[in-house]
A and B are shown apart, each in its own frame.
Chain A
Amino acid sequence: MTIEVKNLVKKFGSFAALDGVDLKVDNGELVALLGPSGSGKTTLLRIIAGLDWPDSGEVTFNGADALAQGARERHVGFVFQHYALFRHMTVFENVAFGLRVQPRAVRKDEVAIRARVKELLDLVQLDWLADRYPSQLSGGQRQRIALARALAIEPRILLLDEPFGALDAKVRKELRKWLRSLHHEINVTSIFVTHDQEEALEVANRVVVMDKGKIEQIGSPDDVYDNPATAFVYGFIGESIVLPVEVANGAVSLGDRPLALAADGLSPGASKLFVRRHDMLVGPPGTGAFEGAVQHVRTFGPVQRAEVALFGGETIEIDAPRDRELRAGDRVGLEPRRYRIFAG
């Protein structure tokens, strides 16, 4: 099932939760909607599910208008952030719910329902919990039951809202791997919402970075990490060095120091230079765009993190491999291997 969203706008009062969003998700993809809270990612997910309605814009499933259908007709599996398991039903009945409420004409008989529920509980490896109530389960177990319940209706699309948000770090890591392999197994088009970049980069085939109701970048996990398209993505994903630079007369300068960096296509004025810590290559003094003095050095396993006072007035932290030991007081040249300069 391909999902296509065109120019979606949703306002809550004067606050624009979605401000013109376009997105296409291909059949069988596992896409992450990544962004800080208030970026509109959950609203987008709810609109795709039919739990919210846009003020304007289009949503199509395989080219057919989805907004013409209610949540009930869309056949979308939705896993809620807090699971929303039916608290008065056993695990078995929770998973069976979607099968039991089907119209009589298409409803499976009791034997078939039992077999299907058993199959789903096996899939999420929790068949031994069938007779328990949600309150008797751990967070990770509830999460998996919520997923089994959503899968029971053989959804055309699977949507997950912060699927690991309420779990502790260890369980979260296990479930991430598990979700990836599960997606591989059932291969249903899936979108999940997260504010955790590590989660998005590790689980998804494609990452959609959102901020303030707009999509900032769409790309593979490597792509968004290595080639952030906007200043926001640079700041939000991974840690970056941010330097206030000045663009004037086709040249870039830091403080009063001109930098040997290309200024092609940059608009003049105060700008920000973004570079990853590990993309600052250390060389002897006089090489590279920057020069500075090492203040102090700490080592973390394979990398050494050095604080460098740049000539031009900024102090930055860089990550360098340990093949060449740095010491406090060293003068070094620094060359940004990959960087972007954004106006503002």
Chain B
Amino acid sequence: MTMQLTETVRLSSSEAKARAHAETARRNLRTEPRAVRIAIISVAILFLSVFVVLPLVVVFAQAFSKGVLAYLAALSEPEALSAIRLTLLVAVISVGLNLIFGLVAAWAIAKFEFPGKTFLITLIDLPFSVSPVISGLVFVLLFGAQGYFGSWLREHDIQILFAVPGIALATTFVTFPFVARALIPLMQEQGTQEEEAAISLGASGLQTFFRVTLPNIKWGVLYGVLLCNARAMGEFGAVSVVSGHIRGETNTMPLLVEILYNEYQFVAAFAIASLLAMLALITLIAKTVLERHLDEGHDIRDH
């Protein structure tokens, strides 16, 4: 009896092995031969190394080429500090505005039906499809000395172009789609039932928003804000048109990098560039983390 039992066990284990072999063989059939796989992977890695990793390494190598002290000195130049300050200020303004606009737009599109909705969705994408230079020029046409509001602004002594408001406006325009685009599909998928449930349970509009809607979309909001911020800090084209390049006043970090580079101040140029590169890396990591949260959100969605 015992013998028989062990026999069966042995049989079934060898059977299992055979089945596993067959399974691998079948799987192998579905994939490419080893040589082809290696070739494809190598090409991909080589391409990424040359076009993505190498430039990143070069930025940091150049920035530190004269040592850490020179690097720190370059960053503590008043001009550099002012550019960093301006970039942060512009990012705060444009991210803040786009957070509000994005939420409102996504709310309107996801939760209400109204005529012209499709048009509005298309319009939200406009800043992505227009060249940033044109986005900047629009503001010159509106607020410039010869522009529509130019004389009125001059009379009232309001400076928009070649000053912080112009830079913030251009940046806001260029980065508008990020928050809205992150939220629209999320809010559309979630529908309005939870909000309806909250209201029927006696919640006010604000209570519904802060206790039900916002917690449901918080990862999407963060995701949109993150991408919006990265673009706001890195924006070059639109800002270049409206900034006027006044040193120490209206130069953002990307603009300063170009100026310094053109003046052959490579260490200084790459030092600022390295900050932008670091921002990109941090954004990338945060983006990965947020995407994981968003995916989890998908899993627990209950219908």
* A interface with B by C-beta (< 8 Å): 49-51, 70-72, 74-78, 80, 82-88, 97-98, 101-102, 133-135, 142, 149-150, 152-153, 166
Task: Return the chain B residue nearest A98 by Cβ.
Answer: B201
Interface of chain B, main secondary structure = helix
B211 CB contacts on chain A under 8 angstroms:
86, 97, 101
Known: A80-B197, A86-B197. A135 touches B300 (CB 8 A): yes
Q: How far is the CA of A117 from the CA of B247 in the complex (A)?
A: 64
**Contact across chains for A51 and B216 when beta carbons are under 8 A apart:** no
Query: Is B193 at the interface (CB under 8 A from chain A)?
Result: yes
* A-B pairs with lowest CB-CB distance, top 4: A135-B300, A98-B201, A84-B193, A101-B203
**Contact across chains for A88 and B193 when beta carbons are under 8 A apart:** no
**Contact across chains for A51 and B201 when beta carbons are under 8 A apart:** no
**Contact across chains for A102 and B202 when beta carbons are under 8 A apart:** yes
Excluding A51-B200, A98-B201, 4 further A-B contacts by CB distance (< 8 Å) are: A72-B203, A75-B202, A84-B197, A134-B302
B203 CB contacts on chain A under 8 angstroms:
72, 97, 101
Query: Is B207 at the interface (CB under 8 A from chain A)?
Result: yes
B198 CB contacts on chain A under 8 angstroms:
86, 97, 101
**Contact across chains for B197 and A87 when beta carbons are under 8 A apart:** no
Q: Give the distance to chain A from B136, nearest Cβ to Cβ, in Å.
A: 41
A152 CB contacts on chain B under 8 angstroms:
201
Query: Is B301 at the interface (CB under 8 A from chain A)?
Result: yes
A101 CB contacts on chain B under 8 angstroms:
198, 201-204, 207, 211
Which of A51, A85, A135 contacts B299, CB < 8 Å?
A: A135
B194 CB contacts on chain A under 8 angstroms:
84-87
Q: How far is the CA of A49 from the CA of B200 in the complex (A)?
A: 8
Known: A134-B302, A135-B302, A142-B302. A86 touches B212 (CB 8 A): yes
Query: Is B291 at the interface (CB under 8 A from chain A)?
Result: no
- The proximity string for B residues 199-234 relative to A, scoring 1 for CB distances below 8 Å and 0 otherwise, is 111111001000110011000000000000000000
Q: How far is the CA of A157 from the CA of B215 in the complex (A)?
A: 29
Q: What total of chain B residues lie within 8 Å of the partner, measured CB to CB?
A: 21
A70 CB contacts on chain B under 8 angstroms:
199
Contacts A/B (CB < 8 Å), 15 sampled: A49-B200, A51-B199, A75-B202, A76-B200, A80-B193, A82-B302, A82-B303, A83-B303, A87-B300, A97-B201, A98-B201, A134-B300, A142-B302, A153-B201, A166-B303
Query: Is B196 at the interface (CB under 8 A from chain A)?
Result: yes
Q: How far is the CA of A281 from the CA of B112 in the complex (A)?
A: 57
Q: How far is the CA of A133 from the CA of B216 in the complex (A)?
A: 14
A71 CB contacts on chain B under 8 angstroms:
196, 199-200
B299 CB contacts on chain A under 8 angstroms:
135
**Contact across chains for A72 and B302 when beta carbons are under 8 A apart:** no
Q: Give the distance to chain B from A11, nearest Cβ to Cβ, in Å.
A: 14
Q: Give the distance to chain A from B111, nearest Cβ to Cβ, in Å.
A: 13
B residues 2-18 with Cβ under 8 Å of A?
A: none
Which of B196, B199, B201, B302 contacts A87, CB < 8 Å?
A: B302
Task: Return the chain B residue nearest A50 by Cβ.
Answer: B200
A102 CB contacts on chain B under 8 angstroms:
202
Q: How far is the CA of A69 from the CA of B299 in the complex (A)?
A: 37
Q: Give the distance to chain B from A49, nearest Cβ to Cβ, in Å.
A: 6
A88 CB contacts on chain B under 8 angstroms:
215-216
**Contact across chains for B300 and A133 when beta carbons are under 8 A apart:** yes
Q: How far is the CA of A86 from the CA of B207 in the complex (A)?
A: 13
Q: How far is the CA of A282 from the CA of B73 in the complex (A)?
A: 107
Task: Return the chain A residue nearest B203 by Cβ.
Answer: A101
B residues 163-206 with Cβ under 8 Å of A?
A: 193-194, 196-204
Q: How far is the CA of A72 from the CA of B200 in the complex (A)?
A: 5
Q: Give the distance to chain B from A126, nearest Cβ to Cβ, in Å.
A: 16
Task: Return the chain A residue nearest B303 by Cβ.
Answer: A82
Q: Give the distance to chain B from A141, nearest Cβ to Cβ, in Å.
A: 11
B197 CB contacts on chain A under 8 angstroms:
78, 80, 84-86, 149
Known: A84-B194, A88-B215. A77 touches B200 (CB 8 A): yes
Q: Which of A49, A75, A97 has the most CB of B within 10 A?
A: A97
Q: How far is the CA of A134 from the CA of B303 in the complex (A)?
A: 11
